[in-house]
Amino acid sequence: MSVAAAVAQGRATPAEMMAVAAARALSDGEVCFVGIGAPSTAANLARATHAPRLVLVYESGCIGAKPARLPLSIGDGELADTADAVVSVPEIFNYWLQPGRIDVGFLGAAQVDRFANINTTVVGDYDRPSVRLPGAGGAPEIAASCRQVYIMARHSPRTFVAALDFRTSVGFGAGAGDRERLGLPGAGPVLVATDLGVLRPDPETAELVLTQLHPGVTVDEARAATGWDLRVAGDLEISEPPTASELEQLRRLEATQRPQGAAGGGRAPHHETERSRDH
């Protein structure tokens, strides 16, 4: 079924299922450091549904932003106007992110490897990249310092790769124990929400394991979309489909953001992934 048909029938598209899966993982009252794009959508969906007291922190310095519409950029006036406090960029990184005050850091990715490390810098060789991506932004320190990290990425072998071209942000490094060795204070990624399912790190090895499939997706599809030999949890779960309320709120939110329209051009290979951590 086409995306348009799914929307028309009130059923969730894969991207919507990804947003809902990520949103559900947030608990009310948590403090969440969000980037623009998919993470901001998911966090605002959580706030609009089961987590009305979720605290959104944006790296532009907006603490406790309560946007009525989805911001197009991380420095939107809407974020400042609705924030409990607006602080400088040095303060947001040094006083709020670095000390580990943030419960959940939300990251997108152009590439993710089996230990949930992330690349948002280049595809190909660093000095002669085939695609130059935006770069690090706040991600390395979000990945290092938040108590937990959630990752959102479309599931494809181009994104879920055996080896990153560049490690912009650390998930579990070379595996279990590496975060401790590197002195990274937070617990690292606990969840990777994709449009096919949810991956979580194995508590022993820190390798990402498929623990949940969205309705209608098969294990083979998920494995085919992963660039390494994806392990599957014994107690694999099937995601609850989005509720009517979740879908309604998600679509209402997305309608508040101006459609990207024709200006966005064709679907260039990494266009989606670039947008996933815009700013």
In the window 190-229, what residues touch other proteins (CB under 8 A)?
Answer: none
Q: Which CB, 178 or 221, lies closer to other proteins?
A: 178
Mask: binding to other proteins, 247-276, rule CB under 8 A, as x and -? -----------x-xx-xxx--x--x--xx-
Q: Which CB, 2 or 128, lies closer to other proteins?
A: 128
- Residues in contact with other proteins, counted by CB under 8 A, come to a total of 76
| Residue in 149, 127, 158, 138 with CA at minimum distance from that of residue 271 | 158
| Residue in 45, 14, 91 with CA at minimum distance from that of residue 245 | 45
Q: Which 37-66 positions form the footprint of other proteins (CB under 8 A)?
A: 37, 55, 59-64
Separation in Å, CA 188 to CA 18, 22, 180, 217, 240: 20, 16, 10, 27, 25
Q: Which CB, 109 or 139, lies closer to other proteins?
A: 139
Q: Is 279 helix (H, G, I), strand (E, B) or coil?
A: coil
Dist. CA 173–CA 206, nearest whole Å? 9
Q: Is 132 in the site for other proteins (CB under 8 A)?
A: yes
Phi, psi for residue 262 in degrees, rounded to 5: -65, -25
Q: Is 106 in the site for other proteins (CB under 8 A)?
A: no
CB contact at 8 A, 191 and 151: yes
- Give catalytic status of residue 30 as yes or no: no
Q: Name which position in 10, 52, 135, 215 contacts other proteins (CB under 8 A).
A: 135
Q: Is 88 in the site for other proteins (CB under 8 A)?
A: yes
